Structure 1
Amino acid sequence: MTVEPGPARDLTRQTDLARQGDVALPATGGAAGVPLRVRAEIAARETEAERLIGWVQLAMVLFFAALYSLAPRAEGADGFNFVPLALAAYFLFTVLRVALSYRFELPVWYLVVSIVVDVTLLCGLIFSFHIQYAQPATFYLKAPTLMYLFLFIALRALRFDPRFVLITGTLGALGWIALVAYAVTRDMGEMYITRNYVEYLTSNAILIGAELDKIIVIIGVTLCLSVALYRGRRMLLDSVRDHAAAEDLRRFFAPEVAHSITDADETLVAGRGSLREAAVMMVDIRSFTRIAATLPPATVMAVLARYQEAVLGVIARHGGQVDKFLGDGVLATFGAVSPSDTAAADALRAGLELPRIFAGLGPELAALGWPEDLRAGAAVSFGPVTAGVVGAAGRLEFTVIGDAVNRAAKLEDANKAQGSIVLTDAATLEAASHQGFDGAAAVLRPGQTVAGLAAPVDLVVLA
């Protein structure tokens, strides 16, 4: 079976992204053993998070620049003003960071450099206060600007990676320790260390306990956020993995069946089902086993894929769902997964369309290597069925069970004896007629013997 160029490019891009994610997505928080395609989706989401962080930082620097330009100069700020230069440099760095994030996935070292720039800028601004205001170094220890450090820490939580929160918090704590150490070790002058809180607030005194409190809070917030992110990251990985599994499930089941499984309020167990009036259709290729034995496996699979795709399209257009593929056979239901007042009519309309589809497939399958004209048949039976879950705890299957299922299979076999393409019985035709089906072209063959059924059946040939 050939792979379309478009999906191939998407798969290659996802694989490349996942391989890049081997750097950005270590085996932490449950990442070990994550499938490559899930890692690719995680890496894509983290790239989006980095862009969001960049835009938030850009908005912050623009906001502070606007606020600084509009606000009057603070009284007593006669020293050299570092703020305009710092904001300008940070603005340029942030713009570069946002631009690069749209060109490629930012490597870990660049993200760490970005964090260092954030913390260095903040600590540098705080340090500049004692120069700008011509005050002793202890003056900057009381600056409320330190609170912005928590904004930088929280901003890194948008990525759902605890490493970057830990790095930001650790650098912030070390930066503040360095500022405190500088204030304590330089020529004290008018500064002194005190244990009096009032003196600390009203003078240039240093209260060691107050500075320890700030460091403890920085470390505490960092650790709490990191633990929360670690747990959240595990949930994120499980969620993405489950999302990928659910998407795969929708490819193996009809959408209605997949939704009934993934959206169930309770854990699915074997033995639960619903009794409904439904139509069952069985479609089969004539002499498939004999012909397939003479062909290469690749040809057989290509023919099967094209045939099943065409049949599935007809069934879906008329509101049916494929219950399962049985080799070259297709078992479909109408009104079994979700109730329908027109199940029998929809199934017969689909059956009437199939001969045209079979005829149209002939040239395509011949081009793929099928050596004969496509000969296929279909049968429809309507009646009560039980739709639900069967199997054991470790292996479940959603299916339909009932006399209508067995009857559809036997009627499809009867196509060969009747020389027909689409076959049903009189009871199904009557139910379909009450549901709006026009059976004018149907041919009734009463009292026919069908292998596997105990009593004669009034057969109806649709095509």
Structure 2
Amino acid sequence: MSDRNKLLAPFARRESNRAIPDRVREVVDRFEIHSERLIGWVQLAIGLFITALYLVSPRPVDGEMQHPVPISLAVYLCFTALRLFLSYRIRLPAWFLGLSVLVDIALLYGLVWYFHVQYGQGASFSLKAPTVMYVFVFIAIRAFRFDPAWVLATGAAAALGWVGLTLYAIDAEGTDAITRSFVAYIHGDGILVGAEIDKIVAILVLTTVLALALVRAKRLLAAATLEQIEREEIRRFLPADVERAIVTSPESVVAGDAEEREAAIVILDIRGFTGFMARHDARQVVEVLVGLHARIVPVIERHGGIVDKYLGDGLLATFGATRPSRTAAAEALAALCEILALSREWAREMETRFGPIGLRVNGAATAGTVVFTALGDEHRLEYTVIGDPVNLAAKLEKHNKVEQTLGLTTRASLDMAQAQGFRAPAAASLTRLDCRQVQGVDAPLDLVAFA
């Protein structure tokens, strides 16, 4: 993928025929609920700020500060406090949100309208009130929600409200008050229609820009939420170290990316499982497998390994392959010892439940140089390990049948593990099996068996 495509990828539209899962909608809805609470706090802060300005600012000598201003502010603060309280109790219905928009604009334009009464001037005097600038704040705070409808509703209410104030001023003072002189507009009581149209256009432009941005942002929020959920689901199918290798890679992973490392391999298999499958239904078979994995996987992870892949009734685990480790061999043998011990207990439980079915876990561990690599094509990749230790572990696991053992490793792997600090548990008896011929291996091997 080119740098340009990488840059634009987060903004790409998802397929139109791909439905957004309900759980994604639930996440977006929860975000909207939190956003509504944030809007409530901002509205309350604005109301308190305007009230504070009213209380601390000196009274203009030419003004008549009458009762409607404090009464209006008190009503607004009470309504905003109620709105904030309800936002923590219930999901605010659409009609209430619409009412909130009207209350915001009504309060603001009520204060603007009262400007000319307060100062004993003509109605056109209100059109010059600086308080109108707060309308942009009321429109902008609706952008906290990723729903452009409420930005559009607030902007439309603000624009229509200003049209109403302008028409009121023209009606109150007559058409003779209309002027085309900007100087007369600034210094006198004239009404410059173009100036009022500019304000309305500014309101509508801001509203449109914010709405378009929110349409894009809402799409990105839904896409990002869906991708996050998908990633969390996919993470369940990927070992944490593999996911980390993919995410932290400085460049996009491609087939053939490889890294050579000193690692250890453990391969496990269940003896007698084919016969068990033939005699029991699929539900019981899966239940047995899941129950065994629930015991084995935590042991592997506790010793620093990961499950590379599940092999039907077996699995392949790696130590030090996805993330370098100086004690990979010791970790692998320690994990194998513990797994073989708990698998004997598991086998006894299976016999108690299903009778003498002869299930047992066999395993093998090897250590050496492996290649941690991405295999596949441009459409699907899989991280895995390849190399002689992997092949040898698979052959040793099968060789358990020949030796009638539960677990095997090579003498070289054991020596490496002991050099790294491995000490066999007291309950684990290690038996040397020198010069053994393993099928598929040319030269005889010195093996070590786990009793």
Asked if TM exceeds 0.5, the reply is yes
CA contact (8 A) 1:282 1:332 kept: yes
CA contact (8 A) 2:272 2:358 kept: no
Question: Counterparts of 1:398-437 in structure 2 under 5 Å?
Answer: 398-437=383-422
Matched, 1:376 2:364: no
Name the aligned partner's letter for residue 180 of structure 1: T
1:445 aligns with: 433
1:123 aligns with: 109
Name the aligned partner's letter for residue 454 of structure 1: D
Matched, 1:109 2:87: no
Question: How many angstroms apart in 2 are the aligned matches of 1:58 and 1:299?
Answer: 60
Q: 2:53 aligns with which of 59, 63, 67?
A: 67
DSSP 3-state at the match of 2:236: helix
CA contact (8 A) 1:30 1:234 kept: no
Question: How many angstroms apart in 2 are the aligned matches of 1:383 and 1:159?
Answer: 56
CA contact (8 A) 2:400 2:408 kept: yes
Question: How many angstroms apart in 2 are the aligned matches of 1:29 and 1:54?
Answer: 35
Q: Post-superposition shift, 1:278?
A: 0.8
CA contact (8 A) 2:123 2:173 kept: no
Question: How many angstroms apart in 2 are the aligned matches of 1:104 and 1:334?
Answer: 51
Greater alpha carbon shift after TM alignment, 339-348 vs 159-168: 159-168
Matched, 1:326 2:311: yes
Using the aligned pairs only, state the percent identity. 45
Question: Counterparts of 1:55-454 in structure 2 under 5 Å?
Answer: 55-78=41-64, 80-188=66-174, 192-362=177-347, 372=357, 374-439=359-424, 441-454=429-442
CA contact (8 A) 2:264 2:367 kept: yes
Question: How many angstroms apart in 2 are the aligned matches of 1:427 and 1:403?
Answer: 13
Name the aligned partner's letter for residue 340 of structure 1: S
Q: In the superposition, relative to structure 1, how do residues 32 and 355 fare at CA in structure 2: closer, same or farther (>3 Å)?
A: closer
DSSP 3-state at the match of 2:364: strand
2:22 aligns with: 36
Q: In the superposition, relative to structure 1, how do residues 439 and 266 fare at CA in structure 2: closer, same or farther (>3 Å)?
A: same
Question: How many angstroms apart in 2 are the aligned matches of 1:261 and 1:220?
Answer: 43
CA contact (8 A) 2:122 2:173 kept: no
1:50 aligns with: 36
CA contact (8 A) 2:263 2:369 kept: yes
Q: In the superposition, relative to structure 1, how do residues 235 and 57 fare at CA in structure 2: closer, same or farther (>3 Å)?
A: same
Question: How many angstroms apart in 1 are the aligned matches of 2:354 and 2:192?
Answer: 88
Q: Post-superposition shift, 1:356?
A: 2.7
DSSP 3-state at the match of 1:205: coil
Name the aligned partner's letter for residue 319 of structure 2: F
Name the aligned partner's letter for residue 127 of structure 1: W
Listed one character per residue, the Cα deviations across residues 322-359 of structure 1 (whole Å, up to 9, x for unaligned) are 11112221111001001111100110111111123213
DSSP 3-state at the match of 1:106: coil
Q: In the superposition, relative to structure 1, how do residues 40 and 413 fare at CA in structure 2: closer, same or farther (>3 Å)?
A: same
Q: Post-superposition shift, 1:302?
A: 2.0
CA contact (8 A) 1:282 1:379 kept: yes
Name the aligned partner's letter for residue 157 of structure 1: A
2:10 aligns with: none
Q: In the superposition, relative to structure 1, how do residues 229 and 371 fare at CA in structure 2: closer, same or farther (>3 Å)?
A: farther
Q: In the superposition, relative to structure 1, how do residues 278 and 230 fare at CA in structure 2: closer, same or farther (>3 Å)?
A: same
Question: How many angstroms apart in 2 are the aligned matches of 1:369 and 1:269?
Answer: 47
Question: How many angstroms apart in 2 are the aligned matches of 1:76 and 1:367?
Answer: 97
Q: Post-superposition shift, 1:368?
A: 7.3
Question: How many angstroms apart in 1 are the aligned matches of 2:179 and 2:295?
Answer: 85
Q: 2:444 aligns with which of 432, 435, 456?
A: 456
Q: In the superposition, relative to structure 1, how do residues 312 and 54 fare at CA in structure 2: closer, same or farther (>3 Å)?
A: same
Name the aligned partner's letter for residue 160 of structure 2: L
DSSP 3-state at the match of 1:431: helix
CA contact (8 A) 1:280 1:382 kept: yes
Give the number of aligned pairs: 436
**Structure 2: where are the runs of 5+ without partners?**
1-12
Listed one character per residue, the Cα deviations across residues 160-182 of structure 1 (whole Å, up to 9, x for unaligned) are 22222222112111111111111
Q: In the superposition, relative to structure 1, how do residues 295 and 74 fare at CA in structure 2: closer, same or farther (>3 Å)?
A: farther
Q: Taking structure 1 as the reference length, what is the TM-score of the superposition?
A: 0.88
Q: Post-superposition shift, 1:243?
A: 1.4
CA contact (8 A) 1:278 1:333 kept: yes
